[in-house]
Amino acid sequence: MKPFYITTAIDYTNAPPHIGHAYEKVLADVMARFQRQNGREVYFLTGVDQHGQKVQKSAEKAGQTPQEFVDGVTQHFLALWEKLNVRYDGWAATTDDKHKRVVQAMLQKLHDCGQLYKKSYAGFYSVRQEQFLTDKERGPDGQFGEEWGEVVELQEENWYFRLSDHVEWLKTFIQTHPEFIFPEHRASAVLNALETSAGIDLCISRPKARLTWGIPLPFDENFVNFVWFDALTNYISFAGYMADECGNTGMPDFSRLWPSEAHVIGKDILVPAHAVYWPIMLHALGFTDEQIPRIIVHGWWNVKGSKMSKSTGNVIDPNVLADTFTPDGLRYYLMRDIATGYDADFSDERISMSYNKELAGGLGNLFNRSISMARKYREGVLTVGDYDDDENKALRQTVAEATPAYLDKMNGWGIHDGIAAAWKIVTHANAFVDSTKPFSLAKDPAQAARLDSVLYHLAEALTHVSVLLDPVMPTAMAAARAQIGWELPQGFTFGDLKWGLLPSGHQLGTPVPLFPRLEEKEKTAG
Ligand code: MSP
């Protein structure tokens, strides 16, 4: 079976990462881990977008060369992924020579088949957004709004890609492939955009006089490639596309990996980049409809309803949150407090609540008290006996129902619903402790068999939870399994989650708080 090839957007390296970047990479990492645990071979690619005017300007400001500057900022991204346990297989940095060679080879290919042409264009240009503006961008007052910053009149020769040749193909493709974009409702925005941009081609260059920090066009030395042909191409260049022609060694086998089953991106870069430019680029290069990748569009994390931005000073640093709430605590919050595809509001109160109440108070406490009781009353040794009753049966039923519900949600990108499906076991098991009262049973020798069964049921429920929540909290769940004294067998998949994972006589490990409670003063991340 073909590997599950999953990618993320590559982040601009003009500033360090914030929680929006962290969310996307954790989301992709959770899906990659989920697929691996589901038995699929996975290739997970993420990286950084290092070229462009913004970087060139930021580097100038910092008194560094662009390469020095991006190398510095890239370290912040690498360190964060390490800290958050984002486990990728390929790292896409666009200043990598292997990538540059593929971008040039691809541009040459398009040039050779007449898909690129040069023309002079005069018009209004937004310095801030680095693009030419049309009347469409004017506000109701006829002016270009504040978002465009300084707008100047500019005449310039550039290279263009014949995007408009392929628009009809794209419309039909989108209409006949509802799975192309997830969530499906986002496709209508793409079709609307195609209606209003008919006949417009894509400018793909900047004169070297204005921008040096980019990949030179192989057929015209006065220009560098600009933005999307460089950035989007990472999905194929780092997957081994044209590796032989370009002399790129050590790359994955492109014919095995492609197409990607998930380009995980934020809603802001769906139209036009990922849903228009990208499929059209691939189509123009000769990719078939079956080779067009699937796009998974996530929403945005806002802060008190507003966009995070340096100028308003509301940018949330994921490093601070991971230090306060543990990396897994942050991963959990980012996955449970947003529905994939929709926006969410970051809040200190909610992340504190999710850590203290759900992780420490719910999950951590369940592990702690279950294993502690088993150690106290049975020296941590489990016994499977003949005793059974309705309470046991009900817990077994909850455990049995959790896995299929979880798989269904996770396969459909409903990570928060997948967590909720697994959490039903946590809630039920905690209620099971409260109602069966093992501490009372332990006082009555006549209840010994029942106590054995209660302790066994709890341990078995914990084992299931430690597998289901593993993609979201890999470190904590590995620690949980160490406490259970059970390791994931080689090749174990979710399909192997059946009642009876722990044999009679199994020795549990030592309980250590999985999510230590935070001191009051540490609760808020600054
Ligand atoms: N470099 C381009 C992407 C090129 S992909 C071939 C870019 N970079 S970015 O750094 O601005 O954004 C990277 C990703 O982070 C995008 O998918 C974007 O949607 C996502 N996010 C940026 N801010 C975000 C939030 N506040 N919330 C969630 N995700 C957000 O665009």
Residues with Cβ < 8 Å from 458, sequence gap 6 or more? 366, 370, 373, 374, 429, 432, 433
The protein residue with its alpha carbon nearest to ligand 1, atom 16, reads 266
**For residue 337, how far is its CA from the centre of ligand 1 (angstroms)?**
19
Characterize the bridge pairing of strands 216-217 and 220-225.
antiparallel
Residue type, 359: L
The protein residue with its alpha carbon nearest to ligand 1, atom 5, reads 9
Q: pTM for this one?
A: 0.96
DSSP code for 166: G
Q: Which two tokens stand for residue 362?
A: 């719910």
Q: Is 300 in the pocket of ligand 1 (CB under 6 A)?
A: yes
Per-residue model confidence (pLDDT) at position 522? 52
Q: Please give the C-alpha separations between residue 293 and each of 91, 167, 280, in angstroms, as whole numbers.
A: 19, 17, 12
- What's the pLDDT tens digit per position in 476-493? 999 999 999 999 999 999
DSSP per-residue codes, 201-221: -EE-EEETTT--SSPEETTEE
The protein residue with its alpha carbon nearest to ligand 1, atom 29, reads 20
pLDDT at 524 over 60: no
Q: Which two tokens stand for residue 340?
A: 């994939």
Q: Which two tokens stand for residue 64?
A: 């560094």
- Cα dihedral 387, 393, 394, 395 sign: positive
Is 178 in contact with 184 (CB distance < 8 Å)? yes
- Judged by DSSP in three states, 18 sits in coil
Pocket test of ligand 1: the residue of 7, 12, 337, 343 to mutate, having most ligand atoms within 8 Å of its CB, is: 12
Lowest mean pLDDT among 61-65, 139-143, 290-294: 139-143
Q: Is 265 in the pocket of ligand 1 (CB under 6 A)?
A: yes
The protein residue with its alpha carbon nearest to ligand 1, atom 10, reads 11
pLDDT at 393 over 60: yes
**For residue 202, how far is its CA from the centre of ligand 1 (angstroms)?**
21
Phi, psi for 339 (deg, rounded to 5) = -100, 130
The protein residue with its alpha carbon nearest to ligand 1, atom 30, reads 20
Q: Rounded to 10 degrees, what is the CA torsion of 477, 479, 484, 485?
A: 120
- Judged by DSSP in three states, 292 sits in coil
Per-residue model confidence (pLDDT) at position 525? 46
- What's the pLDDT tens digit per position in 85-100? 999 999 999 999 999 9
Q: Which residue has the tokens 């971008």?
A: 103
pLDDT at 518 over 80: yes
Per-residue model confidence (pLDDT) at position 248? 98
- What's the pLDDT tens digit per position in 440-473? 999 999 999 999 999 999 999 999 999 999 999 9
pLDDT at 214 over 60: yes
User: CA 432, CA 391: separation in Å to the nearest integer?
Assistant: 7
Per-residue model confidence (pLDDT) at position 254? 98
Whose CA is closest to 222, among 162, 164, 272, 159? 159
Lowest mean pLDDT among 81-90, 193-202, 214-223: 193-202
In which band, very low, low, confident or very high, does the pLDDT at 120 lie, cut at 50, 70 and 90?
very high
Q: Which two tokens stand for residue 31?
A: 């899906």
Phi, psi for 510 (deg, rounded to 5) = -100, 135
Per-residue model confidence (pLDDT) at position 313? 87
Q: How many residues does the chain have?
A: 526
Q: Which atom of ligand 1 is nearest to the CA of 307?
A: 26
- Judged by DSSP in three states, 372 sits in helix
The protein residue with its alpha carbon nearest to ligand 1, atom 25, reads 20
Q: Find the mean pLDDT for residues 103-130.
A: 94
Characterize the bridge pairing of strands 4-8 and 11-12.
unpaired
Q: Is 303 in the pocket of ligand 1 (CB under 6 A)?
A: no
Lowest mean pLDDT among 67-76, 131-140, 295-304, 415-424: 131-140
pLDDT at 520 over 60: no
**For residue 467, how far is its CA from the centre of ligand 1 (angstroms)?**
30
pLDDT at 241 over 80: yes
Helices (H), 84-166: 97-112
Question: In a 10 Å sphere around its CB, with 0-12 CB exposed, 13-18 middle and 19+ buried, how is residue 509 labelled?
Answer: middle
**For residue 247, how far is its CA from the centre of ligand 1 (angstroms)?**
31
56: number of Cβ within 10 Å: 19
Phi-psi region for residue 419, left (φ > 0), alpha (ψ -120 to 50) or beta? alpha
Q: Is 9 in the pocket of ligand 1 (CB under 6 A)?
A: yes
In which band, very low, low, confident or very high, does the pLDDT at 134 lie, cut at 50, 70 and 90?
confident
Write down the mean pLDDT value for the chain: 95
**For residue 267, how far is its CA from the centre of ligand 1 (angstroms)?**
9
pLDDT at 178 over 50: yes
Is 178 in contact with 187 (CB distance < 8 Å)? yes
- Cα dihedral 398, 400, 404, 406 sign: positive
Question: In a 10 Å sphere around its CB, with 0-12 CB exposed, 13-18 middle and 19+ buried, how is residue 36 labelled?
Answer: middle
**For residue 21, how far is its CA from the centre of ligand 1 (angstroms)?**
6
Angle at 190 between CA 187 and CA 195, to 5 degrees: 130
Q: Is 315 in the pocket of ligand 1 (CB under 6 A)?
A: no
**Orientation angle between helical segments 365-378 and 448-468, nearest 10 degrees:** 140
Residue type, 243: A
User: CA 294, CA 291: separation in Å to the nearest integer?
Assistant: 9
The most distant pair of C-alpha atoms in the chain lies apart, rounded to whole Å, by 92
Q: Is 12 in the pocket of ligand 1 (CB under 6 A)?
A: yes
